[in-house]
A and B are shown apart, each in its own frame.
Chain A
Amino acid sequence: MTQQTSGLIHGLYAEGEPIQDTKAPPGPVADRWNTRKFEAALVNPANRRKLSVIIVGTGLAGGAAAATLGEAGYHVKSFCYQDSPRRAHSIAAQGGINAAKNYKEDGDSVFRLFYDTVKGGDYRSRESNVYRLAEVSANIIDQCVAQGVPFAREYGGLLDNRSFGGVQVSRTFYARGQTGQQLLIGAYQALERQIAAGTVEMFSRHDMLEVIVADGRARGIIARDLVTGEIETHLADAVVLATGGYGNVFFLSTNAMGSNVTATWRAHRKGAYFGNPCYTQIHPTCIPVAGEHQSKLTLMSESLRNDGRIWVPKRAEDCDKDPRQIPEEDRDYYLERIYPSFGNLVPRDIASRAAKNVCDEGRGVGPKVGDFRRGVYLDFTDALRRMSKEAVAEKYGNLLDMYQQITGENPYEVPMRIYPAVHYTMGGLWVDYDLQSSIPGLFVAGEANFSDHGANRLGASALMQGLADGYFVLPNTIRDYLAKGPFQKLDESDESVVEAKASVDARLARLLEINGDRTVDSFHRELGNIMWEYCGMERSEEGLLKGIDLIRALRDEFWRNVRVLGAADTLNQSLERAGRVADFLELGELMCIDALHRRESCGGHFRAESQTEDGEALRHDDEFAYVAAWEWGGDNGGAPILHKEDLVYEAVEMKQRSYK
């Protein structure tokens, strides 16, 4: 694409050609995946050994893909930055994983899961992708059970399920509050099996710092061995990024400390489009911030909303009272009041905004941070009365213990306090139906891509997406690409490799040379504050413009004044973090620009200028029913270029969401 400097919109970005997904076959949505699988080329088992794939990330998406492609006989190289693939951030997921099994005979079906997901995403996701997700969901449960994942079971020995925010059927499979851990261990064990079998080579404690693009195709990566500091080149016929989400741009989030955008951002700078970067999910049930030195926020699974009731005092004067002393008639169960049919189970964006609103009105509870109370009660008193303490402990025990561990308060006696926090990013690299980015040969899976959740993700569907992509989708679609391979052998002296490696070396050297006054973390915290304030749950044009200016100034200071001690040729955690924060500083600006151009409220994104009379989010389907796919504007300060992919709904009708 050519860079347009004239015709800049807002002085910030330009509009380019529209973009399209060309891979989803036409025809009824229910047939598309079968058709695509059938049309995808096959690779003879004897030829698979000659084909190689790099998979960065060992979470549910990457771990499952590496294990499956290894089983199929391809040569796989797998990377993660932790000391073991088992520690990928997927391990932290608590609540559960959805699947259209209809084990409860409560009216669930593939179509209903598909429908709920499209509606939950506020009609900003792609129908074909979402249908496929719902379609393969049932296979995921079968696969995991076969691997020995210990899902919760009923006395008859069959699997149990529960319901989750935003839906009215019980389709969520779970393993107490450790669903992510158990699913990941399943994928990890399958991966270790392939490592033992020699089909997968594992590179843990490796940080991917650059993509190699030769002749327009992704052919490898540059990675830093985090122990020795060595900069390594790895080449392959295709590259998969399954590197998770970028919620840590907000500094405080529920993500693991190491979660980052580096892999996808580096790919973006090499030509991969970034889809809907401003779509962040704010999770309603997190433990509120307690103090200044907090390094992260902790999620309490929203499954707690099944039995816990959410309220604040009706009067601001009651907010510092012991909640047990506030009588029923003085409590405002605001979700049950405003949304009677869904009550405490409204989707996350609605629950989050409602909590923010009551706190903004001055009815928040808990300690003051600054001069503001940010917290609402999540009360188990009724559940304890109804269900016995043992039953509550059986269902939620480890979550309640975790709360007590962190806050020092006993939730069996005093209502818990919760507040929304950044949790998930629906945006990510743009991919087509094959999960291929706009760089041929570069595939993107799991939270790292943008595809399935639209503007808002329903609970228990990220795990589903990660495993669907890794076990069932990629192995079929990447096969079609690999069937054209092996591609011409690439030499380490090839210009593309030399250039990629040199840029990594230069960047690391530059970070170490600055030797300024401020720590990496101090920049990260400041960026996080800007993002939360101006590009968080509620956004306005004025705020976003201000945010962009602040980020630019901060980035400028970062490159003049950051202090990274130590050397590049050893384990150096400040250096690792500095590189990640540098990328967040670029991403943050793009997020603000994306949020600025989308003058509508949808999903996890509330635009102050676009609301109904009673303050609910107002979407504008006529103007914004598209995916925003951003092209990098070039290293020399070029403005990003917006490509629009129109969203066409054939199987479901677009409606304003209403949970009232």
Chain B
Amino acid sequence: MNLTLKIWRQAGPRAKGEVVTYPVTDISPDMSFLEMLDVLNEQLTARGEEPIAFDSDCREGICGMCGLMISGKAHGPEVTTTCQLHMRSFHDGDEITVEPWRADAFPVIKDLVVDREAFDRIIQAGGFISANTGAAPEAHSVPVPKPKADRSFMAAACIGCGACVAACPNASGMLFLGAKITHLGELPQGQPERDARVVAMVNQHDHEGFGGCTNIGECSLACPKEIPQDVINQLNQDLRRALSHGL
């Protein structure tokens, strides 16, 4: 396949960015989107131009490190991560724009690389169960009903990629946040800190500059792990509950 790529280049956090056009040829449909960018980078290097910076690591759709806006869609046209998007999803002659995640809370570092540490700080605010090492009771002493365990698992599948934020017109991180609230909130182990957790995490989320949720639903559609929008309902319920408990 031959394609025209329009790629966001930005030399540094404070530099002005611009879209640069690169034609690429001989792209095989079996390549992943990132392998296609690898090929382009090899060619750029050969020509003496600096290769395009983008993040990736596992290339298996699980680490959450990759993430690009591809023709206006977070991770591109399929519901998957950028590394698992294959060129068979495109057609010969397509023009494809490639941009970094756009959100105030995710500043651009270089080209297509953004800073997502705001997500880590939200977890720091309370996205954990306080269990010191060595003090844990025997695992079978706390049974978890299967439906709750399954729902917890479903929410725990979030890979922290940030596509939900990039897809949301408000740049809200509520899907990410709701996923963590649901993961821990469905488990008996998560109950003691449930109220405090939700209040602290929501405060941190707002403090980081993510927008509020207005139920548009783009987040859930873009999420490669198909985290459903109802985790945001759970988040809101938990928040109301915590506030009614006077937290």
Contact surface of A with B, Cβ cutoff 8 Å: 64, 67-68, 71, 82-87, 89, 91-92, 101, 103, 139, 141-148, 150, 152-159, 175-176, 178, 180-182, 185, 188-190, 192-193, 195-196, 202, 204, 227, 256-258, 290-291, 293-296, 298-299, 402, 405-406, 408, 471-472, 475, 519, 521-522, 563, 565-566, 570-571, 573-574
Contacts and interface: CB of A to CB of B under 8 A. Distances in A.
Contacts of B135: 146
A103 to B, nearest CB: 7
B156 interface: yes
B110 A190 contact: no
A194 to B, nearest CB: 9
B59 interface: yes
Nearest to A157: B143
B51 A574 contact: yes
A293 B139 contact: no
Contact of A519 (B45, B59, B134, B146): B45
A566 B110 CA distance: 13
B31 A293 contact: yes
7 contacts: A85-B120, A189-B123, A293-B31, A565-B51, A566-B50, A570-B11, A570-B12
A180 B63 CA distance: 10
A147 B144 contact: no
Contacts of B64: 86-87
A129 to B, nearest CB: 20
B146 A157 contact: yes
A147 B84 contact: no
B156 to A, nearest CB: 5
Contacts of B38: 293, 295, 521
Interface stretch (B124-132, B164-172, B211-219, B234-242): B124-132
Interface string B105-129: 0000110010111011001110111
Given A68-B133, A154-B146, A293-B38, A571 B53 contact: yes
A89 B109 CA distance: 23
A468 to B, nearest CB: 12
Contacts of B207: none
A408 B84 CA distance: 12
A406 B117 contact: no
Nearest to B34: A295
A146 B129 contact: yes
Contacts of A142: 136-139
Interface string B48-67: 11110101111111111100
B63 A87 contact: yes
A147 B59 contact: no
Interface string B11-38: 1100000000000000010111011001
A147 B129 contact: yes
A156 B49 CA distance: 61
A339 B225 CA distance: 39
A146 B113 contact: no
Nearest to B119: A84
B128 A150 contact: no
Given A192-B124, A192-B127, A257 B57 contact: yes
A87 B65 CA distance: 7
A4 to B, nearest CB: 42
A295 B35 contact: yes
Contact of B28 (A158, A202, A293, A566): A293
B203 to A, nearest CB: 13
A143 B135 CA distance: 8
A192 B120 CA distance: 7
Contact of B56 (A101, A156, A257, A408): A257
B42 interface: yes
B221 interface: no
A475 to B, nearest CB: 7
Contact of A296 (B50, B59, B146): B59
B39 interface: yes
Contact of A87 (B57, B61, B136): B57
B189 A146 contact: yes
A195 to B, nearest CB: 6
Given A83-B116, A150-B153, A143 B51 contact: no
Given A84-B117, A148-B187, A408-B88, A92 B60 contact: yes
